[in-house]
Structure 1
């Protein structure tokens, strides 16, 4: 089997952990499936169809991932309290997707609007200071994370982002870097 790309927070689960945690999910879902099947037998078809079938499909997906773990087709990992099935193809770019044209339609106008708002001196590029003006209430840690992201996308290292570099930053900012975590200024736990 080829190498699996694990994420930084991944903890590979043993077979016993997979059986135990997967079993809990399957048994829990089976209880609800039984309740919806009982409703179906009593003549209530709508809840059985709207809830029972999706739960059954979720149960099949979890069970099949556990089986694939045991067959060696991938590894079940625990990441931030969530069971995730990783395969050699996990996290790899698969080329242009079917939604690539939609991404261009949305990303280009969004990038131009952000460029208009942030580019105070009108030179067609955003400096890190101009970006910070928009983020006045950031903490030191968030500023450092933002600076790392900024420097990563500042390909020529001149301290400015071109429109293409800004699009790359926006595209990447949809990942866990911006996920809601306790202590972030936009998190509900703080407000």
Structure 2
């Protein structure tokens, strides 16, 4: 059997599939306690089913999409370095968007070094706003992540999570990478909570 589980903002859907047939389908309201929602859903879905019969599990969720659409993101700061070309301020996102000195050229070679004091001051200002998540994006970091890694080394311990642009996208499209990095930072706790609840319930069900 295959167990499928989809966690939505309103309903959590679970199905058991055997061969080409859906043998059980359960809808459970998605409550504020995600672990309890998953427990209620799987208690009903797996009632009378031995864990050994579950050959595979598949999971999905629209929780992140819902958070974006409903503007329920955690607050996240952004530290961005760009250099010549389009002004990254055009693509500012979040409550604390900062462009700092320092840049790489299109080959990933350092053209202007980062200013450590400026980066530290910017990070300190973000922390003073009560923001615990940070995104760092450099224009050509996909060719050389050195500047992003340097920023994380300088200020990373001051934040609960630091998202780095070169790790969330390998594409040069800088505006999209800024937004993707910001969303990665702002959605980190939501995804972490989902993964933790999922792992816990799978352990409870011996799956």
Q: TM-score, normalised by structure 2?
A: 0.30
Q: Which has the larger helix fraction? A: 1
Q: Which has the larger strand fraction? A: 2
Larger radius of gyration between Structure 1 and Structure 2: 1
